[in-house]
Every structure is written in structure tokens, then in C-alpha cells.
A and B are shown apart, each in its own frame.
Chain A
Amino acid sequence: MTTATQTAAGSANSGSLLLTLMKLRTFIALFAVIIFFSIFAPNFLSTANMILMSKHATQNAFLAIGMTFVIITGGIDLSVGSIVGLCGMIAGGLIIYGIDLPIGYTVYFNILEVAVIVAVVGVLIGAVNGLLITRLNVAPFIATLGTLYVARGAALLYSDGQTLPNLVGREDLGNQGFSYFGSGTIIGLPVSVWMLVIVALGAAYFARFVPLGRHIFAVGGNERAARMSGIRVSRVKMFVYMFSGFCAALVGLIVSSELMASHPATGTNLELNAIAAAVLGGTSMSGGRGTIGGTIVGAFVIGILSDGLVMMGVSSFWQMVIKGLVIIIAVVVDQAQRKMQARVTLMQMAKQG
């Protein structure tokens, strides 16, 4: 993960070894789970398993990237899981039924057009979140909780709760090949992983080298100061929710492509995984802090942890307990690091005079 070097670069200034270790905690956790499972879980290190796990982790990672930006602005997006479900249903519906035009024709789209339409739907739902939050001043938690229910309900209404099966498309309509997003490979790696690489690199670049990306941190750090500095705060917030919706739409596309079926309950509770991954990666819930690299490592830690425990045959009840403990420990270490960091800064100040 080239994007994760950001986290490491900051530590060059501090002399403290312990502090450096703490800063790298997400990496250490990642290596720890990999080493642990390669010893205790059979076949853990096989290529097939690695690819399978990265596919699983990819879904969380996409959502977590969008979530990271939202959390950095000081908000939260609870609706991503439902957007995954709704977007999956729309993808399935477009392939099976197309769109009925009032003049008696039905339009079908090829899979690339389907992907674009689904992405646009995700962005639009994100825009609704953004508008509720910026124009109508609804608290992010409530606004996205509302869209969580609306989007889930819409997904269920779309097919009356039924699964849309067998999304192979028809040759005469030219909409075959939907399985590409979920099952296709490029140079041995799944297409979805390549998509993640592109989105992650793009997001990391964006956070560092694009003014709007820098503004995201400023808005989360101190909204009033950001506004006084001429930053259009509403625009920044609109962007992060729209981007989060976009990421969720991609996941909806990938999941239904992988299963070749759309189920309206897809993505339930995924928003919690995304929040967990972001927090594990060092994103501060109070806003202003976080890195894309850290979030992706966090998403992989959670993904590997759950897959590895399954392979070891640990019961799913214990899996939940372990996952919860890992998140709590991560946050506790994060707080300890903050405190130490503050002390190191004090020492540097003292030396400065």
C-alpha cells in the first residue's frame, strides 16, 4: 500500500521509538493477524485464499474510504449499507428489465452504462444526504439514518423483497458480461481489487494534493476557522457525502456482479464495518484527522480477522466479541498515542525555548 506511507512519514520527527511503534500500530496489527493466521489457520497463505480475502476486504475498504472523508469533516454516513443494497437492486433491475419508456419501448443498457447509472444513483443519494445536512441543518447522524431506512425500503419495494436472480443478460440485448466486476481478473488479480487500488490512490492523492481535499481536514478541524478562511464549507460537505455514496454504489455493483444476483438485504450493517475500519486506521471521530492509507490497512485487518477466524473454525459469536475488542483496543492505543504525542511536542517546545 503506497498510500499508507503517509502515516509513517510523520514519525520521522519524533525521536521516541515507542511513539513510532504506536503510530505504526495499524501496520503492526495487520502483520500480527497475518502471522497469527498463517501459523494457526490451514491454507491461510495459499494464493487462492489470499485473493478471496482481498476480495472480501475490498468491499469494506471501498465503504471505509468514503466514510473516512465523511468522518474527517466531523460527520457520519450511516446510509452506505442501504445504498449498497439499493444500487445492487438497480443494477440487477437494469439488466433484467431495462427501463420502460412511456412510449411503449423498453431501453436496455450495456454493462458499462449500467455501472455508470448505478454510480450516478449512489452519488445522488449522497447528494440528498449532503443537502439535508448543509441546507436543512439536519445532524449527519439523523439525516443518514433517515436515508438508511428510505434506501433500504426502496430496495425492498423494487422487487417486493424478492431476489433478482441470474443476471447474465441476453445476447440480443448486448448486456452480457455483468460478472466482470465481481469475478473478472486482470493479471491474476480480481477486477474489484484493481478498482480499489485506483479509488484508494485517487482518494489519497486527493487528500494531499487537491485544495478540496485539504479543505476536508480544515472543515473537520475547525469549521468556523475554515469558513473564515474562505472555504465553502457546504460545498466540501456535499462532496464528501456524494463521494461516500459513490463508493457505496461501487460496492453494490461488485456484490451483485459477484453473486450474479441482487438481493435487497445486501449490505446490511456494512456501514458499521466501514466505521470500524476507519477508526482502526486512526481516523478521529471528532474530525480533522485520518488517512486513506490507515483506513485501508484497517479494512484489511478487519477483513483478514473475520476470514481467518472462520478458517480456524471459531464460532461466529466469538468472532463478534473479538472484532469488538480489537476496535476498542485500537481506540485506546490511539488515545495513548495522542497523549504521548502531546508530550513529545511539549518537549520539542521546551528545547526550542
Chain B
Amino acid sequence: MTEIDDGDVILELKDITKAYSGIVALKKANLKLRRGAVNVLVGENGAGKSTMMRIIAGVEQPTIGEIWMEGERIHLSSPADAVRHGIGIVFQELNLFGNMTVAENIFATREITRGVLGIDHKAQVEKANAFLDRLESGISAETLTEDLPIGQQQLVEIARAVSLNTRILIMDEPTSALSAAEVDVLFRVIAELKAQGVAIVYISHRLEELMRIGDYITVLKDGQITGHALVKDIDTRWIVRSMIGSDAKDFAKEVDHELGGEVIRLDNITLPRSQGGYAVDHVSLSVRKGEILGIYGLMGAGRSELFECIMGRHEHDTGKVFIDGQELLERDTTGRIERGIALIPEDRQREGLVQCLSIAENLSLASLGQFLRFGFHIITGKEKQAVADAIRSLSIKARNPDFEVTSMSGGNQQKVVIGKALMTGPKVLLMDEPSRGIDVGAKADVFRTMRRLASEGLAILFSTSDLEEVMALSDRIAVMSNGRLVMVIDRNQATEEAIVKASAEGHTTKRMHA
């Protein structure tokens, strides 16, 4: 770690140690935040980033260590304290009240009042609209928050933080739900805030983003600072090396195998949107045995909806699905799973895991039918064996399969969801954003697993909005945009430019048939 010029420091953490009963989440960490700069913080899941941010936001107090702000030692004993010191935070999980309007959300806890007359809604809406316009969000402050798509809700959250007149603004993965255009707006806002002298703390897993926007970078690993540098002096390689200790950017594409015959064919899958138009617009494609088809698209391109149609989650979709040349007449998820389709949902917490069940119970949940005697009695020995096999073959780090599934890290939880799907013995695996919310090391692991499964004869369809991922992993690449399938191309003929161009095409041209 080389010493670098630290510029105009506004907040300094000195030798912060934070211990929770038994674990030390931060070990003597030092952090300096500079005024008018984007201070980037990276690290794998569980490296201690969130703990550090929670300390700065006053949610947690350090066990040992000091916090200095502008040369004075301060104590942040509550979030309100932090707000008083001009510290604002945009959490990764949205903290909005869905049942209130955007304006009410922005001014929650500091409503503009007119004495006994109560809340001055008009003034709130006006002010809120000013903040929203600055973000070029196109959101009206009078909209009910739950009616907004996730990406726009994120913008509301950012508008709220900005409206607090913060001097230090912490953003925890603010772009994870934003489209490319929205990210551009956000970056413009960040640049503007920076010019006003605000110290920005930016946390993200997307390395190219960090390189684009960051000024200073700090890398955390296992609760310790392992790297600190000026962003202009380093490259993504340096980040990855500091994060996991080696160059692990490998998507494991070395396995090459023959593709088999067609396993799944989609014919004119269509899902109408309730507001008119189509969420999935006459999509037809087919995937062969052992093939990985990557579906690239931006948020709202219809990828998740397409997968849901294949799984029989919607009542109003039309079109046919064929497995091994036979049309599937089952309309519900249960029937589709029985016919050999399995889905890894995008939202692991809401659709993938049953949090109160153990790791083992989650793994076997979808395949209990295989362990029965007399058609109703679960043979626990057989179940345990199958669970142990799954844990071994996916190298899930589970010390005891009877622990609750929430006791694992994000990457391992994702593997449990994959394991659950695989235990149903599928022919086709649908993976919706399989790398969402897991760190670089776990990502590489998941990708290796995907290649291995494909080489064992599984047909895999996965969706992603990460260009690098789709280029590296797929045998063929399909691009969806605005519900349409706009392009299907072999990987070796695909270029990144062509894919990006295609992903915006659905909004302009007429659909094509693949």
C-alpha cells in the first residue's frame, strides 16, 4: 500500500474495530473521505463494507476506534446524529413507503408544516419536484411510490438523500436496479454534487463503473483495508487482486463439448401487458442439449417475463413450449417442473429461498417426490444422501445442512437455489440473472458450475445485463429489447457493439422472427 495524497479530508475513521458477539467485522480499519470526490469502496460480500457504512450512518457504533470530522472528534450514536452532521445514505435495499406519494417519502420525518394547519402538501410537492427534475427522473412527486418501477424508486431514494443537504453521501450499490440511461443521469448528478464539494462514498460490485466514476478507491477484505489508491493509477485487475488476492477473472470457458439435439423450443410466446402492448412479444427460439444460450437485455426487456411464461407462472400468456419435440400441455409450475424445466429466479430472497427452513430442507423442497416410500413417506436417509450429494457437487460451503439457510453468504445461498433446481433432475435450466448480488469469487464459481452442467448435457438459458458475462459464457447470444427478440447470434460472430445496439432496437423498429 503506497501513501497517496489525501486531498481535502472531511471525515476520517481511525483504527475502527467492530465486533459482533464473536465475530470481528472490521479490524483496525482506517478510512479517509475527501470533499468533492467520489470515494469508492469495494470488497467481496461480507468484507465489512456495509458495517463500515452503517457506522458512518450512525446505525452502529464502533467497538474501538475514533471518528473525526473536520478535525474534531465526533460520536455518531444514532442515524439522526449522522443526519445532523450532514451524512446521508442510500441503502441498497430500498427504504421507501410504498403506500405514500413520492413527495411524502422525500419529506418523511421532516414534513413541511404550517403550524396547526398540518402538513403543507403543496410546498412539499413543489420542492420534491425540484429535486426530481434535477435528477431528470421524469417522476411526478404526486405519484404513489409503489406504482413506480424499481429503477425509479431508486432515484426517489437518491432524491431524498440529496434533499437533505448532505455533505457526505453514501450510496450502496445505487445502480443495481438502474438502466443504462438512468445510470448516466445518476453519474451526472454525482458529478454535480462533487462540484458542490459533497464527499460521495460509492459502493458497487460493477468494476467498470467504479473505474468510470471513482476518484479514490479503497479495497476491503475480511474486515481489513487491503488497498488504497487513486483510481487513475490503477486498473480493474488491481482491484480484483486486492479483493480476492489473485487474478480470478476467469469465466471458465475452457470446457468444450459437442452439442446434442434440440431440447426445448419456444413457439410464439406472448404475454400481454396490463397497460397494453406486450411484455413478451412473440418470442420463438430453441436450445440444444449441452448448449448455453445467453439472453442479453436491459431492465424491463422482458427476460424475466419470458422465463416466467416458460414456467407457467402467468395465466394469460399464449404460445407453445416443446420439450424433446413434445408440446407441454401443463399450464402450472408444478407440471412444468415435472416435465424437466427448472428456474433459478432473479430475486433469490423473495422467490428462491424459504428463509425459515434449513439448508437441507431448502435443497430438497422441490424434489421431495423422489424420496418417497408408499407414495407418501419421506425416507429421510435417502433425502440426506441426496442433499449431501448436492452440497458436494456444487461445493456449497455448509458446515451443517440443518442450519438455517440465511446463515450463509449470498453466493452460497445462490448455490442452494441452483441445487434445489438441479435436484428436480431438469433437462432445461433457466437462470434469471444468476450472478446478481454475489461477489466476484462466487460469480466465477457459479459460472464454472454452469459450464460443467452444460457439458453434462443440460440445456441452459440464462439472462444477464452484463455484457462481459454474456460474451464469455454463452454458446449463442440472444438479445431482447422491449419484449421482442431482436437478435440471435453465435458467440464467435457477436461483437459487443452489435449487442448493445440491438438491445435498444426494440423501442424503434418492427420485430423480427428468429
Partner-B contacts on A (CB < 8 A): 13, 208-211, 214-215, 217-218, 220-222, 224-232, 284, 288-289, 343, 345-352
Nearest A-chain residue to B366, judged by Cβ: A229
- Give 6 nearest A-B pairs by CB, closest first: A350-B23, A347-B22, A221-B354, A288-B356, A230-B337, A229-B366
Q: Kindly identify, within residues 335 to 394 of chain B, every residue whose CB is under 8 Å from any CB belonging to chain A.
A: 336-338, 343, 345, 350-357, 361, 365-366, 368-369, 372, 376-378, 380
For the complex with contacts A218-B361, A226-B354, 16 further pairs of A-B residues with Cβ separation under 8 Å are A210-B378, A211-B368, A211-B369, A214-B361, A217-B357, A220-B356, A225-B351, A227-B333, A228-B311, A230-B336, A230-B424, A231-B366, A288-B355, A347-B21, A347-B22, A349-B23
**B351 and A228 within 8 A (CB):** yes
Question: Could you tell me the distance between the alpha carbons of A345 and B403 in the complex, rounded to whole angstroms?
Answer: 8
**B20 and A346 within 8 A (CB):** yes
Judged by a CB distance under 8 angstroms, whether B113 is at the interface is no
Given contacts A214-B378, A228-B352, contact A348 B403 (CB under 8 A): yes
Q: Which residues of A sit under 8 angstroms from B338, Cβ to Cβ?
A: 230
A-B contact pairs, 19 of them (CB 8 A): A13-B403, A214-B365, A218-B354, A218-B361, A221-B356, A222-B353, A222-B356, A225-B352, A227-B333, A228-B311, A228-B345, A229-B366, A229-B420, A232-B332, A345-B403, A345-B406, A346-B23, A348-B407, A350-B20
Given contacts A214-B365, A218-B365, A230-B338, contact A348 B356 (CB under 8 A): no
Q: How many A-B residue pairs have CB under 8 A?
A: 106
Q: Which residues of A sit under 8 angstroms from B357, Cβ to Cβ?
A: 217-218, 221, 288
Chain A nearest CB from B173 CB (Å) reads: 22
Judged by a CB distance under 8 angstroms, whether B334 is at the interface is yes
Question: Could you tell me the distance between the alpha carbons of A66 and B146 in the complex, rounded to whole angstroms?
Answer: 36
Question: Could you tell me the distance between the alpha carbons of A225 and B365 in the complex, rounded to whole angstroms?
Answer: 10
Nearest B-chain residue to A235, judged by Cβ: B334
Question: Could you tell me the distance between the alpha carbons of A214 and B355 in the complex, rounded to whole angstroms?
Answer: 14
Partner-A contacts on B (CB < 8 A): 20-24, 311, 313, 332-334, 336-338, 343, 345, 350-357, 361, 365-366, 368-369, 372, 376-378, 380, 397, 399-400, 402-404, 406-407, 420, 424
Q: Which residues of B sit under 8 angstroms from A227, Cβ to Cβ?
A: 313, 333
Given contacts A214-B378, A350-B22, contact A228 B354 (CB under 8 A): no
**B351 and A343 within 8 A (CB):** no
Chain A nearest CB from B510 CB (Å) reads: 34
Question: Could you tell me the distance between the alpha carbons of A120 and B155 in the complex, rounded to whole angstroms?
Answer: 56
Q: Which residues of B sit under 8 angstroms from A208, Cβ to Cβ?
A: 378
**B407 and A222 within 8 A (CB):** no
Question: Could you tell me the distance between the alpha carbons of A205 and B333 in the complex, rounded to whole angstroms?
Answer: 27
**B23 and A225 within 8 A (CB):** no
Chain A nearest CB from B302 CB (Å) reads: 19
**B404 and A345 within 8 A (CB):** yes
Nearest A-chain residue to B408, judged by Cβ: A349
Nearest B-chain residue to A72, judged by Cβ: B356
Q: Which residues of B sit under 8 angstroms from A288, Cβ to Cβ?
A: 354-357
**A211 and B354 within 8 A (CB):** no
Question: Could you tell me the distance between the alpha carbons of A227 and B350 in the complex, rounded to whole angstroms?
Answer: 11
Chain B nearest CB from A250 CB (Å) reads: 22
**B366 and A230 within 8 A (CB):** yes
**B332 and A352 within 8 A (CB):** no
Nearest B-chain residue to A234, judged by Cβ: B332
Q: Is the interface of A mostly helix, strand, loop or mixed?
A: helix
Q: Which residues of B sit under 8 angstroms from A346, Cβ to Cβ?
A: 20-23
Q: Which residues of A sit under 8 angstroms from B353, Cβ to Cβ?
A: 222, 225
Q: Which residues of B sit under 8 angstroms from A222, Cβ to Cβ?
A: 350-351, 353-356
Question: Could you tell me the distance between the alpha carbons of A347 and B407 in the complex, rounded to whole angstroms?
Answer: 10
Chain A nearest CB from B364 CB (Å) reads: 8
Given contacts A346-B20, A351-B22, contact A211 B372 (CB under 8 A): yes
Question: Could you tell me the distance between the alpha carbons of A229 and B311 in the complex, rounded to whole angstroms?
Answer: 10
**B22 and A209 within 8 A (CB):** no
Contact with A224, one of B332, B350, B397 (Cβ below 8 angstroms):
B350
**A347 and B23 within 8 A (CB):** yes
**B377 and A209 within 8 A (CB):** yes
Nearest A-chain residue to B378, judged by Cβ: A209
Question: Could you tell me the distance between the alpha carbons of A51 and B343 in the complex, rounded to whole angstroms?
Answer: 54
Given contacts A343-B21, A352-B399, contact A211 B361 (CB under 8 A): no
Contact with B377, one of A210, A220, A221, A345 (Cβ below 8 angstroms):
A210
Chain B nearest CB from A172 CB (Å) reads: 43
Chain A nearest CB from B36 CB (Å) reads: 38
Question: Could you tell me the distance between the alpha carbons of A266 and B438 in the complex, rounded to whole angstroms?
Answer: 57
Nearest A-chain residue to B332, judged by Cβ: A232
Nearest B-chain residue to A213, judged by Cβ: B378
Q: Which residues of A sit under 8 angstroms from B420, Cβ to Cβ?
A: 229
Given contacts A228-B345, A346-B21, contact A211 B378 (CB under 8 A): yes
Q: Which residues of B sit under 8 angstroms from A348, Cβ to Cβ?
A: 399, 403, 407
Question: Could you tell me the distance between the alpha carbons of A262 and B363 in the complex, rounded to whole angstroms?
Answer: 50
Question: Could you tell me the distance between the alpha carbons of A208 and B357 in the complex, rounded to whole angstroms?
Answer: 13
Question: Could you tell me the distance between the alpha carbons of A324 and B381 in the complex, rounded to whole angstroms?
Answer: 43
**B402 and A13 within 8 A (CB):** yes
Q: Which residues of A sit under 8 angstroms from B369, Cβ to Cβ?
A: 211
| Highest count of chain B CB atoms <10 Å: which of A215, A346, A352 | A352
Chain A nearest CB from B424 CB (Å) reads: 7
Question: Could you tell me the distance between the alpha carbons of A183 and B397 in the complex, rounded to whole angstroms?
Answer: 57
Chain B nearest CB from A53 CB (Å) reads: 34
Contact with A217, one of B350, B351, B354, B403 (Cβ below 8 angstroms):
B354
Question: Could you tell me the distance between the alpha carbons of A326 and B23 in the complex, rounded to whole angstroms?
Answer: 36
Q: Which residues of A sit under 8 angstroms from B399, Cβ to Cβ?
A: 348, 352
Nearest A-chain residue to B358, judged by Cβ: A10
Q: Which residues of B sit under 8 angstroms from A217, Cβ to Cβ?
A: 354, 356-357, 361
Chain A nearest CB from B81 CB (Å) reads: 24
Nearest B-chain residue to A340, judged by Cβ: B21
Contact with B334, one of A210, A221, A230, A343 (Cβ below 8 angstroms):
A230
Q: Which residues of B sit under 8 angstroms from A215, Cβ to Cβ?
A: 368
Chain A nearest CB from B178 CB (Å) reads: 24
Q: Which residues of B sit under 8 angstroms from A230, Cβ to Cβ?
A: 333-334, 336-338, 366, 424
Chain A nearest CB from B306 CB (Å) reads: 15
Q: Which residues of B sit under 8 angstroms from A232, Cβ to Cβ?
A: 332, 334
Q: Which residues of A sit under 8 angstroms from B372, Cβ to Cβ?
A: 211
Nearest A-chain residue to B357, judged by Cβ: A221
Question: Could you tell me the distance between the alpha carbons of A352 and B403 in the complex, rounded to whole angstroms?
Answer: 12
Question: Could you tell me the distance between the alpha carbons of A346 and B372 in the complex, rounded to whole angstroms?
Answer: 35
Question: Could you tell me the distance between the alpha carbons of A349 and B397 in the complex, rounded to whole angstroms?
Answer: 11
**A228 and B403 within 8 A (CB):** no
**B22 and A228 within 8 A (CB):** no
Question: Could you tell me the distance between the alpha carbons of A288 and B362 in the complex, rounded to whole angstroms?
Answer: 13
Chain A nearest CB from B390 CB (Å) reads: 14
Chain A nearest CB from B334 CB (Å) reads: 4
**A211 and B356 within 8 A (CB):** no
Q: Which residues of A sit under 8 angstroms from B354, Cβ to Cβ?
A: 217-218, 221-222, 225-226, 288
